[in-house]
Structure 1
Amino acid sequence: MTRIGLPLLIACLAAGPVAAAGLDGFRRTADEWLLTGQGLPRDYRVTLLQMDSADRLQAIAYLRRIGLLTERPWSLDDLLRPAATRTEPRE
């Protein structure tokens, strides 16, 4: 393995559980909203747009499955958009 290949492989493997923990954390938060009778917060779209697109798609599917996301559908552009950083201006 090359000198660059091994650190890159290690970084990719280390990043996996962190992303999963973020999605799992979002699911737990969504469960709390559901169990306490709250709806989605006004800024839920901003939160989802800060996620990686794969995690965002899973989070949207989860919100629909538990019945919290029943309103406006997400456009394909929003689903596949790269994760927004906090320094990027909102659209």
Structure 2
Amino acid sequence: MEEYLPLIIQLVSGALGGNVAGKLLKNMSLGTLGNSIVGILGGGLGGQLLGMLGLSAGADAGAMDIAGILSSVAGGGVGGGVLMAIIGAIKKAMA
């Protein structure tokens, strides 16, 4: 179960990041559910991207120290917010 904890943290922080971005960028918001779903996807992608680039602290060893947790939160939150903004901009352009 401990190996899935960073992913769970990334997904939850991605949902939060998507909703925060939706609140800040009201004209690109997809609604609470849409922001959450896109944020979850972006959180997972953002966290995995940080891991592939070797920027996630502690994730390689599987250790969940404070650096690993903060890395998962940052990667998930930023990834969720960025993907929500991209999808919101595409939706707005198509409307």
* Structure having the higher Rg: 1
Q: Relative to total residues, which structure has the larger helix share, 1 or 2?
A: 2
TM-score by length of 1: 0.30
Larger RCO: 1 or 2 (CA < 8 Å, sep 6+): 2
TM-score by length of 2: 0.29
